[in-house]
Amino acid sequence: QVQLVESGGGLVQAVGSLRLSCAASGSIASIGTMGWFRQDQGKQRELVASITQSGTTNYADSVKDRFTISRDNAKTTVYLQMNSLKPEDTAVYYCNANRWGYPSWGQGVQVTVSS
């Protein structure tokens, strides 16, 4: 089982920046793709960005050129650098990790962007 702990959320003004971190522990061997999802009230959870073990990244169109996902050398911590934040980026952000096809989720961190 993989445990994920997120940090770095908070309140920021529009056009500001935040950096989210997610550390994996437990059965971390063979963790594959890791990523960030977000969910705003009344909306479905959506993929924000993902990164494979080899470093291939994927982004939602709404965050391209503003957000950057990265992963540490041990492949167990994933980061999300969020720049030029907009009020519509306000949501709870969840870390996700896949191991042998089974997903694990963090508890979520709130990101609030004020206009």
Q: Rounded to an integer, what distance in angstroms lies between the CA atom of residue 31 and that of residue 114? A: 35
Q: How many CA atoms lie within 13 A of 43 on its CB side?
A: 14
Contact in structure between 109 and 21 (CB atoms under 8 Å): no
Per-residue pLDDT tens over the stretch 11-68? 999 999 999 999 999 888 889 999 999 999 999 999 999 999 999 999 999 999 999 9
* AA letter at 112: T
Please report which confidence band the pLDDT of residue 73 belongs to, taking 50, 70 and 90 as the band edges.
confident
As a whole number of angstroms, the distance between CA 50 and CA 104 comes to 14
pLDDT in tens, 84-112: 999 999 999 999 999 998 999 999 999 99
Predicted pLDDT of residue 42 = 93
